Structure 1
Amino acid sequence: MTLRRLAFNNVVRNKRLYAAYFGSSAFSVTIFFVCALIAFNPGLREGIVYDVALQMMIAAECILFAFCFGFVLYSVGSFLRTRKREFGILLLHGMTPGQLAAMVAVENMIIGCGAIAAGLAVGTLTGKLFLLIGSGILGVAELPFHLSWRVPVLTVGAFLVLFGVISVCTTGLVRGKRLNELFLSGRKPEPEPFASPMLAVLGALLLTVGYALAATSTIATVYVRIVPVVGMTIVGTYLAYTQLGVAFVRLMRRRRRTVWRGTRLWTISHMAFRLKDNARMLFAVTIVSAVSFCSVGVFASIQSLSKQFREDYLAAVVYIAKDGSGVDRSHLADIEAELAAKGLAYGVVRMPIKYAAVEASTAPSPPRLMPIVSFSDYRKTVEQAGFAFGEPPLTGDEALVMLGAQRDRRAADVRTPASYTLRANGLSVREIGHTKHVPIPDYLSDDLAGEAAGGFGGVVVADELFGRIAAEKTDRFTGYYVSDYERTFGLAAGLAPDGVVRYDSDQPYAMTVSCTLAAVQRSLYGTMLFAALLVGTVFFIAAGSMLYFRLYADLDDDGRQYAAVSKLGLTEKELNRSVTVQLATLFFAPIAFAIVHSAFAFAALQSFFPLSIAAETGGVLLGFVAAQTAYFAVIRHRYIRNLNRYLHST
């Protein structure tokens, strides 16, 4: 028998054990193939977000490749540990360590090549379905199925390199093992699970403090807390499985009135050993699941920003003529001509935007030039858009910070009011709050020396004070307001192809076409969500695969234990109930942990959003729980069936 034939027989013989690993690898190849299929699709090149979509697909492929490398290496290492006795027999019959390493490498390449072939086949067959889903989420026209030669070449090349490197790495895992160590693998009696009380308490304390910091985070503190919270959560989770879980089970065993009934004592005792043996695997599943939940949840939550788009862009078209610009008359004439050609009635608001030099300020980093508009002009922009205006007039040196977007409201709420002294004539301006509406949208005011990150977009002052301010420069704001907002899509495409010309561009003007910009943002958010869904799904399936092959790797040992207990009178019904409890704990404990981690992460994330993201995050978590429940039902049925088959054969 040749070495290749022996390796092939080993793979076929262990097909039950390798099933989840093979399936996860094939699914990863499929998703990688789909990302490349979208990235090289000619229909996407015609879209307005092609550059962003291409970058997101490339980023998704890089993340998938890095994750698959770690997942495959972990999986192969786990499989090799379950085959130590088999390797010992082969070495005893004359196989050299080099031949053993070569056999393992060939086995891995057989599975890898099979996964690549299966992934390509599934990707090709389901490519059109993924393109339909992707075009719907991206908000672009239906993408045609186009299989460029680059797609399979990139996919096959990337995963051949991955499995080849893994094959080389795994040869080191089977070298240097002594025969007695290989034969005694799995035969040594397991010591009683032990937990350190100090480490158990430390794990609980780290999780508690981490959760508390996440729940109480504000937009001003979340950046400072994110790294320590993530670190405490990871360490606390590891200690929870390796120490706290074992300590909890040992504590339960002391409650004789509760535990010493029926099969509870045996179930709980067996669970203590399962937690000890599977602690690292459960920890890995928890972290991978939490990353999956958070990645999908974050990008699903970003979609909530589009709900306030109409409040961020009050006017259908805003045109800012920079100081000294001489092209605004012809541009405005073209815009008005297009509005008339579409049969759209519109209202117009024109106002000056003064930029005054700041000489002194109590702000930590005041702007060099501060945009200023009058209170009456601000009121016109709100009322012309059809929104109710109820803010009291300003008097004296009072000022309101202008919001650049509604998402800045949280930052503005915690902003410390500042005072300014203007250079030209020594006038003072004093902040007393912020505007409720957005007079000048994002992208349409000059650089504010970093203050925009704190919710600062300039100030609104009293009309009397505005008239006395000497400006370094004055821009001219023109806003067009229409009732049929959606019909302005594509307006002024020659001036703003993607719906926006930023103030910091080299053009003599800045402008936004709200409906076009809204479509671009929806496509952008959809692109990020689609990439997160693809990557998150791979993470979630990989986490389930870790549970699967760990269970089936221990099936023979579990069968022997259950057979021994059944001889003492354990019925098949009691066995099924006990196994169900243990499997449910292994399956849902990491998911429950991951959900709790994600819930507190979303609580911290909420500080960035003016609207509640509970619906989006709740929907994501419920979807993953439903998928895990279905997966558990299938695995439980197969596991109990195989276990009963093993018991009946003994």
Structure 2
Amino acid sequence: MNFREFATKNVYRNIKGYFAYFLSSSISATLLFSFTMIIFHPDFVVLKLPNSITNTLYVTTVIAYLFLCFFVFYSVSVFLKSRYKEFGILYIIGSSKKQIQKMINIENIIISSVSGVVGIIVGIVFSKILLAASGKLLGLNALGFYIPVKAMIITLIAFILIGIVISIFCSLVIKEDMVLKLLKGTKKPKLEPKSSAIFSIICIVLLTIGYYLSITSTEKTLPYRIIPVTIMVVIATYLLFSQLSVFVLKVLKRNRDFYMKKTTVLWVSNLLYRIKDNTRMFFLITITSTVALSSIGSVYAYWRDKETQINKSFPQSFFCVDTYNNKTKVDYKIDFIENSLKKEEISYTTVNGEMKFIIPNGVKDEVTIIKEDTYNKLARALSLNTIDLKENEAMLVSYLDKNKRKNIILDETKLQIARGSDSCVIPALYDSSYVVKDDVYEKMKGPRCYFGAFNVNNYKDTLSIGNNFYNNFGNDKGDKYYNNFLKAYILEKNKIAYGVLLFSAIFIGLIFFVTTASFLYNKCYMDLIEDKKKYKQLNKIGLTYKEIKKVLNIEIGVLFLLPYIIAVVHFFFAISSLKCAFGIEITVPALQVIGIMLIVQIIYFLIIRKNYLFEIRKSLL
């Protein structure tokens, strides 16, 4: 048997240790292949997506691949630790450093290449279902089957490169002068974990502040809070596992009535060491799970609520606006829309009017001013209540800043905000609009704009008109006051854009969950070797299998579910900021995402628990 055969057979001999690495790599290869198969699909390529959306797809692929590389490095480094004795013995019997490195290279390239091939095969087998589902998600008809040659090449090359890079990485980890350490493996005596009450309090304070800032965010404050809140929660998460959890377990140990009760002494002591030893892994899994849940949940909430948001943001089916100097151009567009609606035999109502833009005293941003008569015309067309203002009274129309009721000074005129409304009568781009008496409006100086607005019963029927409009006027340009809002056209573009983003988020989320699940499997596999010896000795002195099972249920349950539970809490507060800032309905999407992920995690936990207990029981016989 030559060295290459020895390396190949070594993979079979360590099949349990390599199984998680191989399985997760194969699933990751399937996801990578499926994703590239869709973005290179002929029907998808011809879509005229904005550059930002197209770039999002490519960036998503790169992020996923980089995370896959990181995951593989981590998994291999963990697995190598379980093989310390094996490498130590090989060095003692005369194997050179070059031979060990060659063996590791062959093993990793075999695993990576086979994973890539298996991923491609599985992706092709389920491609018809995947293409149909992704087509619906992206707001398209079912994507037809095709031979994804480019996706195959990308996936295979990507995983072969992973195998090569891992081989270089492994050669730096295993060194000949570590023979004694390799032989001793992980048998070094462990000191009792230490914790700090101060750091535990800091953890609680950081989480409290981070959560509070999340649920009190507004549209204006959210962009400024994202980074500091993220930093606080990340730091607090690490302290939670490294300090607070250890501190809580030590407090439990001091309660002798609780601690000395039956098997409690065993699982509390074991958890004390396990949580401390696995701090980095728990932290990594929690953060990646939070990112996965937040990305999927937030984009899904937008995707699910997109029609409601469109209806709020764009009350009219068509709305064209430009400066008053370009009134002729606006009238020409209004005639085009009107003729198109008549041709399609779609009934409509129309309102023409004007508005001004003024910078209030002491404020940097412009606000929109509408006269009372124009507002009432728009309100009647939208079946809203009309208003009757008194002199120097104004009404604030804003569905984002609906709680803002401060008096305002416009062009040296002090206005009292008599009432407010969160029902927009013009597009949300002009949020925080002020309605004033007609004579007050005429006195105010500011850029004057002319608009034309159309309302129809079912705006979705006007998509073809919107497409024709942009074919004719899409190249027109103007200043910051120039705009065209075509509701059906905007909804269609949003469907595709949010569909692409949701598809990308689901892809990234699946990669995260597959890899983190593999982290846990690798950790369980490493712990199993030591647990077999430990529980065999405890069984000899009287600990029954039923009691061992109870202890392991708690330990494995904490190992699998604690990071996920913390991630769910992080996710709940993160997604709540969307409701606070933008009024997006998040309850149903959040519960759906949490429920699906919880079911998957519990199923995975039950499978690993069953195999783990089987191996422990077998070792007791």
2: CA distance between counterparts of 1:337 and 1:600? 50
Q: Which residue of 1 aligns with 2:236?
A: 236
Match of 1:437 in 2: 423
Give, in angstroms, the shift of residue 253 of structure 1.
2.4
State how far apart, in whole Å, the 2-side matches of 1:207 and 1:156 are. 43
Deviates more, 1:630-639 or 1:123-132: 123-132
Q: Is 1:461 aligned to residue 460 of structure 2?
A: no
The answer (yes or no) to whether the contact 1:39–1:54 under 8 Å persists in 2 is no
Residues matched between the structures, number: 619
Other-structure match for 2:309: 308
The structural deviation recorded for 1:427 is 5.9
Deviation at 1:576? 1.6
Q: Is the 8 Å Cα contact of residues 302 and 584 (structure 2) preserved in structure 1?
A: no
* Aligned-partner SS, 2:541: coil
Offset of residue 561 of structure 1:
0.5
For 1:477, the aligned partner's letter is: F
Note the 1:340-419 alignment, pairs <5 A: 340-355=342-357, 361-367=360-366, 371-386=368-383, 388-389=384-385, 392-403=387-398, 406=399, 409-410=400-401, 413-414=403-404, 418-419=408-409
Distance 1:389 1:427 in 2: 26
* CA deviation after TM superposition for structure 1 residue 233, in Å: 1.9
Note the C-alpha offset of 1:557. Answer: 0.8
User: Is 1:56 the equivalent of 2:56?
Assistant: yes
Q: Which amino acid aligns with 1:467?
A: E
The answer (yes or no) to whether the contact 1:101–1:175 under 8 Å persists in 2 is no
1:121-520 equivalent positions in 2, closer than 5 A: 121-175=121-175, 177-303=177-303, 304-325=305-326, 326-355=328-357, 361-367=360-366, 371-386=368-383, 388-389=384-385, 392-403=387-398, 406=399, 409-410=400-401, 413-414=403-404, 418-421=408-411, 435-442=421-428, 455-456=431-432, 458-469=433-444, 472=447, 474-497=448-471, 505=478, 510-520=483-493
Alpha-carbon shift at residue 461 of structure 1 (Å): 2.0
Q: Distance in 2 between matches of 1:71 and 1:433?
A: 56
Which one-letter code corresponds to 2:441 in the other structure? F
CA distance in structure 1 between the aligned counterparts of 2:222 and 2:428, rounded to whole angstroms: 23
Give 1:448's aligned residue.
none
Is the Cα–Cα contact under 8 Å of residues 502 and 511 in structure 1 kept in the other structure? no
1:258-309 CA-to-partner distances (Å, cap 9, x unmatched) read 2323222122222222222222211211111111111111111223243132
Structure-2 change in CA distance of 1:417 and 1:110 (3 Å):
farther
CA distance in 2, matches of 1:262, 1:321: 79
1:3-37 CA-to-partner distances (Å, cap 9, x unmatched) read 32222222211211222222222222222212211
Distance verdict in 2 for CA 1:346–1:34, change over 3 Å: same
2: CA distance between counterparts of 1:308 and 1:492? 19
Contact 1:305 1:609 in 2 (8 A): no
Deviation, 1:416, is 5.8
Aligned counterpart in structure 2 of residue 583 of structure 1, from 556, 559, 580: 556
Match of 1:608 in 2: 581
| SS of equivalent to 2:325 | coil
State whether residues 133 and 142 of structure 2, in contact with CA within 8 Å, keep that contact through their aligned partners in structure 1: no
Give the C-alpha shift of residue 505 in structure 1: 4.8
* Kept after mapping to 2: 8 A contact 1:503/1:510: no
Q: Per the alignment, do residues 416 and 467 of structure 1 end up closer, same or farther by CA in structure 2, a change over 3 Å counting?
A: closer
Q: Deviations over 1:321-375 (max 9, x none)?
A: 543333444433332222122221111111123456x5xx4233143xx643212
Task: Report if aligned partners of 1:314, 1:382 keep a CA contact under 8 Å in 2.
Answer: no
Aligned counterparts of 1:109 and 1:217: Cα–Cα separation in 2: 49
8 Å CA contact 2:85–2:182 kept in 1: the answer is yes
Deviations 1:468-497 (A, max 9, x none): 44565x433222211233321221423225
Q: For 1:246 and 1:355, locate their aligned partners in 2 and report how far apart those are by CA, in whole Å.
A: 59
Distance 1:366 1:574, change over 3 A: closer
* Structure 1 residue 566 displacement after superposition: 0.7
Q: 1:475 to 1:230 in 2, by over 3 A?
A: closer
Q: Deviations 1:562-603 (Å, cap 9, x if unpaired)? A: 101111122222222221111111111111111111122223
Q: 1:417 to 1:508 in 2, by over 3 A?
A: closer
Give the TM-score taking structure 1 as reference length: 0.88
Deviations 1:396-455 (A, max 9, x none): 34444554xx4xx14x5358654232xxxx766676675432233156xxxxxxxx7xx4
Secondary structure at the counterpart of residue 362 of structure 1: coil
Task: Assess, with a 3 A threshold, how the Cα gap between structure 1 residues 324 and 285 changes in structure 2: closer, same or farther.
Answer: same
1:235-275 CA-to-partner distances (Å, cap 9, x unmatched) read 22222222222222222223232232322212222222222
| SS in structure 2 of the partner of residue 394 of structure 1 | coil
* Distance in 1 separating the partners of 2:533 and 2:18: 21
Which residue number corresponds to residue 447 of structure 1? none
Q: Distance in 2 between matches of 1:131 and 1:176?
A: 50
Partners of 2:355 and 2:368 within 8 A in 1: yes
Question: For residues 310 and 5 of structure 1, do their structure 2 counterparts lie closer, same or farther at Cα, with a shift above 3 Å needed?
Answer: same
Q: Does the CA-based 8 Å contact 1:503-1:509 persist in structure 2?
A: no
**Structure 2: distance between partners of 1:363 and 1:149:** 61
Which residue type is aligned with residue 110 of structure 2?
I
Match of 2:541 among 562, 568, 581: 568
One-letter amino acid of the structure 2 residue matched with residue 394 of structure 1: L
Which of 566, 569, 572 is 1:596 aligned to?
A: 569
Q: CA deviation at 1:145?
A: 1.9
Q: CA RMSD in A?
A: 2.7
How far off its partner does 1:541 sit?
A: 1.6
Q: CA deviation at 1:53?
A: 5.0
Q: Structure 1 residues 436, 236: closer, same or farther in 2, change over 3 A? A: closer
Q: % of aligned pairs identical?
A: 27
Classify the secondary structure of the residue corresponding to 1:132. helix
Residues 67 and 414 (structure 1), Cα distance of their counterparts in 2 relative to 1, 3 Å cut: farther
Between 1:51-60 and 1:124-133, the stretch displaced more is 51-60
- Aligned letter for 2:469? L
Does the C-alpha gap of structure 1 residues 433 and 223 become closer, same or farther in structure 2, counting only changes over 3 Å? farther
Q: Give distance in 2, aligned partners of 1:604 and 1:176.
A: 53
Aligned residue identity for 2:390:
T
Higher helix share: 2
2:604: which partner in 1? 631
More divergent stretch after superposition (535-544 vs 338-347): 338-347
Q: Which amino acid aligns with 1:413?
A: N
Distance 1:355 1:251 in 2: 63
8 Å contact from structure 1 (residues 496, 512) kept in 2: no
Q: Distance in 2 between matches of 1:247 and 1:321?
A: 64
Q: How does 1:612-623 map to 2 (within 5 A)?
A: 612-623=585-596
Give the Cα–Cα distance (whole angstroms) in 2 for the partners of residues 123 and 254 of structure 1. 54
1:489 match: secondary structure = helix
| Distance change (3 Å), C-alpha of 1:176 and 1:287 | farther
The one-letter amino acid of 1:380's match is K
Q: For 1:309 and 1:92, how far apart are their aligned partners in 2?
A: 71
Q: Normalized against structure 2, the TM-score is what? A: 0.92
Which residue in 2 is equivalent to 1:530?
503
Name structure 1 gaps, 5 residues minimum. Answer: 444-451
Cα offset, 1:554, TM superposition: 1.7
Q: Give secondary structure in 2 for the equivalent of 1:94.
A: coil
Seen in structure 2, the aligned counterparts of structure 1 residues 59 and 548 have a Cα distance that, compared at 3 Å, is same
Aligned-partner Cα distance in 1 for 2:51–2:378: 34
Residue 182 of structure 1 and its aligned partner are, at CA, apart by: 1.2
Structure 2 residues not aligned, in runs of 5+: none
Q: 1:92, CA displacement in angstroms?
A: 0.2
